[in-house]
Amino acid sequence: MPSRTIIVGGVAGGASCAARLRRLDEQAEIVIYERGHYVSFANCGLPYHVGGIIAEEAQLLVATPKLLNDRFRIAVKVRHEVVSIDRAAQTVTVRDLESGREAIDHYDHLVLSPGANAIIPAIPGVDLPGVFIMRTVPDARTVRAWIDSRQATRALVVGGGFIGLEMAENLRHRGLAVTLVEKADQVMPPLDPEMAAPVRARLEERGVVVMLGDAATSIRSEAGALRVGTERGAEVVTDLVVLAIGVRPETTLAKQAGLELGPRGGFKVDAQMHTSDPRILAVGDAVEVVDLATGTPALIPLAGPANRQGRLAADIITGRKGAFRGVQGTAVCGVFDLTVAMTGASEKSLKRAGAAAAGIVFLHPSQHVGYYPGAKPIHLKLLYRKADGRVLGAQAVGEEGVERRIDVIATAMRLGATVEDLADLELCYAPQYGAAKDPVNLAGMVAVNDRNGDAPALPWSAADDPAFTVLDVREPGEWASGHHDRAIHIPLHLVRDRLSEIPRDKPLAVYCAGGQRSYYAVRLLRQDGFDARNLSGGWQSARHRAGAIASGKQARTEASG
């Protein structure tokens, strides 16, 4: 008798599991129950549909029930919700959301892919017309209709993460005045603050009003507009509100069935995606995973891991071997022609996990050689384990070539690479694509120099420490445009001739514009007996740090005021 697998939820994990299962077992009975209107859609594209970049709603539909049935003989029932599980009987109770009728269905294997729900704050007025979330195709349709019917000119986005930033950009693309409110003291909270500073700057350059360290506390309707009160006492008048605060795993079924949850509140699964019941597997946003960089449990709602988990679950059901090795959180976001990408640990996440001090370097290489027209900088931060040089994470911001470099580092991390490996990678080079020393190679080289003591890297906080003497080796024009107020100024080409002017009683914190000339200076000085170290990333990193500090101070001052 053929095995019967019931899959609860479609989209990425569930639909991937079903299609893979059919490819492995032509005789299996496969049923997907999806409580929404669509079984498989591109929820990452929803903000771009609101903005009109993706013009037609149909372009968001990855697979329809008809396609899955015709191509794979998978029975798909949308608007059907699994409301309970009888683990002893291996049955589920399914409610038809259109008729209200319920039925019982039997399974040999059950795959739970319920996804995550948008976090909706418990504040007055949150259920008013004109307040939206962005999780499904109907959500995007409703927002578009609201903007069109009301001829909306103002929007408030609550939350400065991926969806919040994408919504802010797309609402501006439609010509609306946009205000963004974020509880943290930076946008894009997964980034470290100094890497988020240029993102905030780009938002403000493109007309988005950014309010940090604040949160919506009330919403009321008055004279055809919505008035949103905030924690620090401001009021924003707007035509619509988009809540993009984040998501939490949908675990209603798990709790009802007595399945074990993990410390972060998601499904606890083993490496084969089994829950605490061996007949029940779980995949997708509701599953707790292992953070590869820190080894700690994590909730990382990304489409890539969900697809891989769905594929693995099908393998396990059909008796194949395999294991899910964890998630490193590789992600990318576009913000007004700026690309923001990351993989692995951030400095913040390492501190939260109580990890040993990591090596951290900054650099600002161009995405291709400077002599080829159109070279643009990539602001890159690399973290590595000092004990063995293993790469722990990276973050990058820039207009071109960002995602390629983060993808390379993500791949290297998955294979256990060290910073020495990054320095030694052989990558594509032609003038319009990169350089003989690619930004990834350079990141590895800077980290190797830090690790072996050739040019120890300092964070910019060291420049404010009176235990260090600060040395600026830029040219006079650069110095005149801005410099650290404690710095001694000696251009690089004069350092050898003016060694007597440099104090030897303290370690030196040396900087230039981006880190390369200061590296040359550090090598020269260390060979002359100075304890010289490189302020990582140069004056460009100092400016990003200053922006991050200013954002934090503004958020804290306004919150306390």
- Catalytically active residues, by annotation: 44
Give residue 263's identity as a one-letter amino acid code: P
Q: Cα–Cα distance between 349 and 353 in angstroms, integer?
A: 6
Determine whether 296 is exposed, middle or buried from the number of CB atoms within 10 Å of its CB (0-12, 13-18, 19+): middle
Residue 394 in tokens: 């990276």
**Three-state DSSP state, 6:** strand
User: Which residues have C-beta within 8 Å of that of residue 250, sequence separation ≥ 6?
Assistant: 114, 115, 116, 117, 285, 286
User: What angle do helix axes 13-24 and 65-72 make, rounded to 10 degrees?
Assistant: 10
Of 205, 15, 194, the C-alpha closest to 7 is 15
CB 154 within 8 A of CB 238: yes
- E strand or H helix at 533: strand 532-535
- In the numeric block, the tokens 């995606």 are attached to 273
Round the CA-based radius of gyration of the chain to a whole number and report it. Answer: 26
Q: Cα–Cα distance between 254 and 250 in angstroms, integer?
A: 9
Q: Cα–Cα distance between 376 and 369 in angstroms, integer?
A: 9
Q: Please list the residues that pair with 377 across neighbouring strands.
A: 366
